[in-house]
Amino acid sequence: MARSHSPPPEVPACYAIVHPGLEELAAEEIQRDLGAEIRRTAEGIVVFRVDAVDARLLEMRLTEDVFLFGWGTDQLTYRATDLDQIERWTARGVDWQHLLRLHHDIRPRPKGKPSYRLVTQMDGKHVYMRKDAGKALARGLGAHIPDSWRPAEENAAVEVWLTINGQTAICGLRLSDREMRHRTYKGEHRPASLRPTVAAAMVRVAAIRPGEVVVDPMCGAGTILAETVAYAERFRGQGVAVRGGDLEFGAARAATLNLRRIGAPHLCWWDATRLPLPDAETDHVICNPPFGKQLSSPEEIGPLYRGMVREYDRILKPGGQAVLLVSDGNALREATQAVGWTPTKRVRLRILGQSATISAWRKQGG
């Protein structure tokens, strides 16, 4: 990204922070669902332009946070001179009052003295520390934040974020709040539960159509099914039929409670290798089985994956599709070869520090 500033005209660029590895899928969602023009992607970042800045920006499911763009560069030097640049670009390169007006259109200004928060994220071997970059940001913003505003640690009315990754830095005004990444349905938590944005990416890969049947046989806290229901809102009346369950009674219960918040059905206590579901009636299996680390041992993974894939093959319609998130790609490939599935897509990402892959597979026939 050559250094650039938000141009004075009405609609500034926006950017999204996304889970690393999901940039392409998130850009596709932003482009299709918002009609946006994608300007560029970098690790964990998608920069885009929309015709109007409105609340639809907050409806993106693959985005962790969305911002009005202030400035960006891909020419940081790792040296202390970066700090002067950060201060200068923040102080002089951005029409913060314009960005604040747009921000208040989406997130109305609270009554009383507004609160603000500055957030600095930094990754890379810079000679300065994250807190030095944060101080440079604060100095740059000094003249733009009225004295009457009070700093806050959380739930601030206004947040300015600076995200540095190696030579790249991007700075802007946050439009989203924690609900965008955490959602409102996830009251019950389970170990190894997926980030909602990653579950949403799996649903996006599945490209579900109205009226189809979607099953998550190892549903944990129900994140994938909740994201499926949210995705299907675009189908209005027709929706999709979701089914799911888990071997752990506590998980099936947690998922049922979470999904009740969005009006989805009761989930089952079952074994994914022996499902009480009919042959060839499911359009999509979307599932995140244990990785063989946190929830079961590596030796158990081969037999588990073989058993589950055989069962998913039985319940899928001819030509039906499975979207699976695993860490041990070899164990999964071996299991899918045994039933003759064809791979159709792969997305690599990291989950809790481990490399993982979302892969899509098509059953024969159809």
Give the footprint of ligand SAM on this chain (CB under 6 A).
190, 192-194, 199, 217-221, 223-224, 246-248, 251, 271-273, 288-290, 295
Which residue, 1 or 192, has its beta carbon nearer to ligand SAM? 192
Which residue, 107 or 293, has its beta carbon nearer to ligand SAM? 293
Q: How far is the CB of 181 from ligand SAM (least distance, A)?
A: 14
Q: How far is the CB of 224 from ligand SAM (least distance, A)?
A: 5
Which residue, 21 or 220, has its beta carbon nearer to ligand SAM? 220
Q: How far is the CB of 223 from ligand SAM (least distance, A)?
A: 3
- Spell 158-170 as b/e; 16+ CB within 10 A means b: bbbbbbbbebbbb
Nearest residue (beta carbon) to ligand SAM = 220
Which residue, 57 or 194, has its beta carbon nearer to ligand SAM? 194
Q: Which of 82, 64, 75, 77 is nearest to 15 (CA)?
A: 64
Q: How far is the CB of 286 from ligand SAM (least distance, A)?
A: 9
Beta-carbon contacts of residue 176 (< 8 Å; ≥ 6 apart): 57, 58, 63, 65, 66, 67
Which residue, 13 or 225, has its beta carbon nearer to ligand SAM? 225
Beta-carbon contacts of residue 222 (< 8 Å; ≥ 6 apart): 216, 244, 254, 255, 256, 258, 259, 264, 267
Give how far Cα 286 sits from Cα of 161, 191, 252, 358, Å: 34, 19, 16, 10
Residue 330: CB atoms within 10 A of its CB come to 11
Which residue, 152 or 295, has its beta carbon nearer to ligand SAM? 295
Q: How far is the CB of 319 from ligand SAM (least distance, A)?
A: 25
Beta-carbon contacts of residue 272 (< 8 Å; ≥ 6 apart): 217, 218, 245, 247, 287, 289, 307, 308, 311
What is the distance between the alpha carbons of residues 15 and 37, in angstroms, rounded to a whole number?
11
Q: How far is the CB of 180 from ligand SAM (least distance, A)?
A: 17
Q: How far is the CB of 44 from ligand SAM (least distance, A)?
A: 21
Contact assessment for residue 219 and residue 249, using Cβ atoms and an 8 Å cutoff: no
Which residue, 62 or 251, has its beta carbon nearer to ligand SAM? 251
